[in-house]
Amino acid sequence: MSYPVLNIANKIISCSDASLGEIISNLKLQKLLYYMQGFFIAVFDKKLFENEIEAWQYGPVVKEMYEHFKEFGSGAIRLKEDAVISNLSQEENRLFEDVMEEYGQFSAVKLMNMTHEELPWKKVFNENPQGEISYDLLKEYFKTQIVE
């Protein structure tokens, strides 16, 4: 079962602590959604959310979430009081926390540069800018990134 992408985005945003100077901008959110989806596919062989991830100039993007949060520009995204956050299974939540710990520490620009070096974005962007990064391509790449 996959989750609504907005609820996953809200979960990512809720993990940041603005009082510590940690912010989740739209650019950073897009990259974290990409890493979440990639590792979720590699570990569980299913999508975390159904929305496409596209290869844009500044890295992977879930277009619907980019549009939803674009009002925040490059600043910190603030959740609405009624924001819904997905409740993941214990195993899924452990992976979510691992990905946040590993990738959430990096700036949006660092994450963008990292994605530009990775096969899924490079392959799709070079062949078809704004094309979809496929499930199979995410699975193939992220299977190589899992540390046992």
Q: Which domain holds residue 129?
A: 5-143
106 is a domain residue: yes
Q: What is the pLDDT of residue 148?
A: 65
Residue 148 lies in a domain: no
> Please, what is the angle between helix 26-44 and helix 135-143, to 10°?
80
Token pair for 88: 């993941």
> In this predicted model, what pLDDT tens digit does every residue of 81-104 receive, in sequence order?
999 999 999 999 999 999 999 999
132 within a domain of the structure (yes/no): yes
What are the structure tokens assigned to 69, written together?
């949060």
Give the model's pLDDT for residue 120. 98
pLDDT above 90: percentage of residues in the chain: 89
The structural domain count of the chain equals: 1
72 found inside a domain: yes
- Residues 60, 129: contact at Cβ < 8 Å? no
Mean pLDDT over each residue of the chain, to the nearest integer: 94
**Domain annotation covers residue 21:** yes
Confidence of residue 20 (pLDDT cuts 50, 70, 90): low
The answer to whether residue 55 scores a pLDDT higher than 70 is yes
Looking at the domain assignment, is residue 115 inside a domain? Answer: yes
Residue 147 scores a pLDDT above 80: no
Task: Kindly state whether residue 53 falls inside one of the protein's structural domains.
Answer: yes
Token couple for 43 = 């570990």
Residue 1 CB coordination number (10 Å): 6
Residue 35: inside a domain: yes
Please provide the DSSP assignment of 57-116 as one string: TTEEE-HHHHHHHGGGTTS-----TT-------HHHHHHHHHHHHHHTTS-HHHHHHHHH
